[in-house]
Each structure stands twice: as structure tokens, then as C-alpha cells.
Amino acid sequence: EDMDKKSQRLLSLLRGEIPRAIDLLRDRIALALGENPTQATTSLSEIKARLMKRHGASLAITTGPEAETAQVAMAPARFFSLINNLIDNAVKYTPPGGQVTISLSDARINSARSSVEVIVADTGIGVSPAEKDKVFHRFFRGSNAIRLEPDGTGLGLYITRDIIEKH
């Protein structure tokens, strides 16, 4: 049977959002269980390779020379999920022909403690100045985002902030 265009669009959206929702739920459960943030380490070069495999040519990823040896005291899957939440948001709200750029670097300065700087920049729709303070609130979605893509949970950036604060 033929589906109408609205049903096809919804089905396509669900196919894309279900894996992301599962990842977000796993992260939320892990945080609620109080997982030890130093149970594993991952390198920035490993994360870069995984991001390129997942997103391919749609991303420009730069790393400093220190990325080959920089280690993050966080389970690889958790760190990848954190960065991927940021990237998924950027890709989702950047129009075709736009640009998403990621920079990963070791941000340690005279410290043995692991510290990484992740910068995700895009040419997307942006967030209004009045809403910038709310982007990391649970269930918040910017008015620009709702206009462009009405469906969404508003949990991605909230969970990302939560992961960062607990590590």
C-alpha cells in the first residue's frame, strides 16, 4: 500500500531518531546509576576515527598534534556519545550546503588531569539570544528548531551537559 508523504516523512524521522533516543536513554540510565567516570580512557584520535566513519565527508574534523596521545578519563562509548550528541544537533539544524566543523584538542595546561576541548561550530539556524540560556535545560527546544523540525525530545543537550558535569 502507498503511504502518503506525511506518513513517509514521519517513518523516516523515526528511523533516524530511535537509535539516538536509545543512546540517550542508555546515557541517562548510566548517569542515574552513578557509573565511575574514570573506568576507562579513550584517545581523541580514536574518537575522530569513529566520527569520520559515522558521518563521513559531511564533517570537517581538525585535531592538534597532541590528539594522537591525548587520553580522556571516560568510557569510550560515553565520550563518543557526548560528542555525537553535539554533532547530531549541528548536522540536524544545518541546511544542505552548510558546514559543520569539529575541533578536538588536549586542553591540559600544566596539569596531569585529563582535560579536552571540543568545539562544534556550524552554519545552521542558530539559537535566538533570548533562548541561549535555556539550550541545556531538560526538554527545551529552540523556536527555530521547532519551526524547522517539529519533532524532537529536547534531551540531547541536557544529557550532554549532565555527562560533562559528572566527569
Q: What is the pLDDT of residues 55-88, one digit of tens each?
A: 666 667 777 676 666 667 777 777 777 887 888 8
pLDDT at res. 160: 85
Q: What is the pLDDT of residues 17-33, one digit of tens each?
A: 777 677 667 766 766 66
pLDDT at res. 113: 60
Cell of 118: 571540543
Over residues 38-43, the mean pLDDT reads: 57
- pTM, two decimal places: 0.64
Over residues 80-100, the mean pLDDT reads: 81
pLDDT at res. 40: 55
pLDDT at res. 14: 72
DSSP string, 52-103: HHHHGGG-EEEE-GGGGT-EESS-HHHHHHHHHHHHHHHHHTS-TT--EEEE
Pairing of strands 71-72, 42-43: antiparallel
pLDDT at res. 38: 44
DSSP string, 102-117: EEEEE--SS-SS--EE
The percentage of the chain sitting over the pLDDT mark of 70, rounded to a whole number, equals 66
Question: Model confidence at 37, in pLDDT bands (50, 70, 90)?
Answer: very low
pLDDT, averaged across the chain? 76
Over residues 142-164, the mean pLDDT reads: 85
Q: What is the pLDDT of residues 105-129, one digit of tens each?
A: 776 655 666 677 788 888 889 999 9
